[in-house]
Structure formats: structure tokens, C-alpha cells
Amino acid sequence: MRAYIVSTIVGVFAVDENNRLLSSKAFPKEPREAAEKLKLSEIEMLDEERFVRDVLGKKGFREFIFGYRKAGVKHVEPNSPAEQFVKDNVRKLAVDAKIFSNPADLNQFLTKATIELAKVHIKKSIQRDSLVVQANGALEDLDKSINIYMERLREWYGLHFPEMDRAVSGHEKFATLVAKFGDRENVTDADVEGLKKNSMGADLEDEDIRMMQSFAGKILEMYKLREDMVSYVEGILKKVAPNLLDVAGVSLAMRMIAKSGGLARLSRMPSSTIQLIGAEKALFRFLKGKGRSPRHGIIFGHPLIQGARDEHRGKLARLVASKMSIAAKLDFYGKEYRGDKLKKELTEKAKTIVSSKA
């Protein structure tokens, strides 16, 4: 005999294929606790669910169907008609099962519970991951500015020492050399040593060079600010998304949270969606009939995927996305830290993918 076990804000209900109520177990009538339970039920087996299952087990039921995949669950059927029935009739079921004696009591309870939830959501959404979203925006702005300034510096300093532009491709190093040494005659660096003698650049006055040095110095300050900002975000992530941080690294975890619109959203996304975060533009183009269907978004910035060969990347992206999805859920629901374990699993599975023949 089969039973569908469904959790709602008031408690757990079990029904059969014909939508007959088989058993139920109320949640504590403390609204915050009930709201927490309902959220938790998406990722782990609740005591109340176990209770209902055991009661039915004694009555001869053998197959228990849940709406979410979680430890201890064998049969999963999301959005089954039975689940739908329970969700559409919570009020009636709650009164039938005598969890609430009348609809007005249930209203009071529901109002309190949704208020609690809204408060928690509001708190979460403003205090914590919104900071990450903003910091990510600030970093993007900063990167754009740095690039603009660097182009200017390269062009400007190029009047004096054009050969250095190609010899030193790293922006930060370029700015450091200018700020530190100024006149090309003074520059001591293995990459440019040989180019100084026959430079085509013009000889400039001291004051010209000093201005460029001061400009380069400001750019270096921006690099420093960038660094500070990254470690600041890392600090927040350690508190609000430690699991995701371990699986994705600072930069990717931050961008995932920002692009998905926050940890709450991210935690509810299936991993197939996570894989496409940041590829929305390409996806829309594809849906309009232009271009190819994108296979991945910013997830490609993950070191495991970046370092891999083309033929493995698709599989790796799926793997990374699934681990991120688990990590984001753990983080959002404030569950225990398991990042080190997730990361280990990730690296090990990645190894088998990379060593397999495509």
C-alpha cells in the first residue's frame, strides 16, 4: 500500500491515491518554529514525517512517497496529484485532523507564521547577502575603472617608453613599474631591461614623468581597494555562505549570489539553472532563434572547469553546479557546515571525469 507524505505549514499529512486522509501530525503551534520546519522539510526528514511514516508502517503501508529528495526517502514524486490535493486543502485538512478547531484560529496562526517568515526573509535579504550583492557591483565598477585608467596609463607612458606596453602585459605590474621607477632609464626589471637602450619613446621632462607616476600610484591604490574588498566579501561569505564559499571560491560564490538575486533565490534553483547563471543574454538570443543554446554561464570561471580540456567541461560544469546547489541550500537554511566534505567529493569526482575518456 502506498501513502503520500506531505508537509505543510500546519503539519504533516499522509493521504492515499484517492486523497483520503490516512494520518497526520501537527507542527508545534509556535509560528516561527512551524515556518522553520516547513523550510527544513525540503532538505531533511522531519521528526513529524518520520512519526507519520512509522504509524502507517504499523498499519501495513510499505511505500512512502515524498515530494523532495532527502536522506531516508526512497520514493520521490514532486508535485504528485496527492501532494497537490493536500496543498490545496490545508485549511480543510487542518480542521478535519483537529489541528485547529476553527478557521479563524488558523488565520491567526497563519498570519503570525507568515509575518515571522517575512521578518526573517527581510532580515536575511537586507543584512547579509545584499551586502555581497552590493560589494560585487562595486567590484565590477572598480574593475571597469581600473581598465579605463590602465588603458590611459599605457598610452600615456607609451609616449615615453612604447616598448614596455607589449613586454609587460600584466596591468598591475605595469602600474607598479611606472609608479616605482618613473623614467625608463631607471626601470629595473628583467622583462624590459633590454628594451630601454633602443626605445623609440620621447625623452620627457621630470614633471611629465612625475604626473604619470602619481596617476599610476592612484591605480595601485585601486588595486589595493579591490583586494580589501575581496577579503571583506570573503569575511561575509564565511558567515552567510560557508559551504558555497568552499565549493565555489570567493569570486565565483559572490557572483553566483549577486547574479541569482541573493542566497534565497540561489538556494531554490535546480542545478540546471545554476549552470546557466550569467548566460541569460545568450539564452534569450537562443530562444529568439539566434545563436546556439548556451551550455553554461559564469560557472565556467570555476578553477576545476577552467583548467580542464574542452571535452570534459560540460560534465564538470554539471558536477560543480550540483555541488553548488547543495551548498547554497545548506547555507540558506542555516544548516551545518559541510563545505570541506563537499569540496573533497567535488575534487574526487572531478578527477574521475578528467581521467575518463570523453
Partner 1 sequence: MNRIFDGVFVDRGDFFTRNMVPGRRVYGEDLARSQGIEYRRWDFTRSKPAAALKNGIRNFPLHEGMKILYLGVASGTTASHFSDIVGLEGMIYGVDISQRVLRQIIPIAEERGNIAPILGDTRKPEEYAGLILEKVDLVFEDVASDDQIPILIRNCDKFLRSGGFAMIAIKSQSIDVVKSPKEVYRECVGELEKNFEILEKVELDPHEKHHLMVVMRKK
| Cβ pair 129, 240 in contact under 8 A | yes
Nearer to partner 1, 180 or 268 (CB): 268
User: Segment 267-296, which members bind partner 1 (CB under 8 A)?
Assistant: 268
Contacts of 325 (CB under 8 A, 6+ apart): 269, 270, 271, 274
Q: Residue 4: enclosing H or E segment and its boundaries?
A: strand 2-7
Question: Is there binding between residue 146 and partner 1 (CB under 8 A)?
Answer: no
Least gap, CB of 168 to partner 1 (angstroms): 47
Q: Which one, of 193, 197, 144, lies nearest residue 171 by Cα?
A: 144
| Cα dihedral 45→49→54→56 (10° resolution) | -140
Distances (CA, A) of 3 to 26, 53, 58, 67, 113: 17, 9, 13, 12, 28
Write each residue from 222 to 261 as x if it is in contact with partner 1 (CB under 8 A), else as -, in one continuous string: ----------------------------------------
| Cβ pair 229, 145 in contact under 8 A | no
Question: Is there binding between residue 87 and partner 1 (CB under 8 A)?
Answer: yes
Stretch that binds partner 1, among 122-130, 216-224, 305-313, 321-329 (CB under 8 A): 122-130
| Cβ pair 252, 278 in contact under 8 A | no
Nearer to partner 1, 44 or 165 (CB): 44
Q: Which of 12, 106, 139, 175 binds partner 1 (CB under 8 A)?
A: 106
Nearer to partner 1, 117 or 317 (CB): 117
Q: Which of 121, 152, 210, 344 binds partner 1 (CB under 8 A)?
A: 121
Stretch that binds partner 1, among 83-91, 140-148, 299-307, 346-354 (CB under 8 A): 83-91
| Cβ pair 162, 290 in contact under 8 A | no
Question: Is there binding between residue 111 and partner 1 (CB under 8 A)?
Answer: yes
**Residues binding partner 1: number (CB under 8 A):** 29
Strands laid side by side in the 11-15 sheet: 21-26, 11-15, 2-7, 63-66, 75-76
By the criterion CB under 8 A, which residues form the site for partner 1? 8-10, 38, 87-92, 94, 103-104, 106-108, 110-111, 113-115, 117-119, 121-122, 125-126, 268
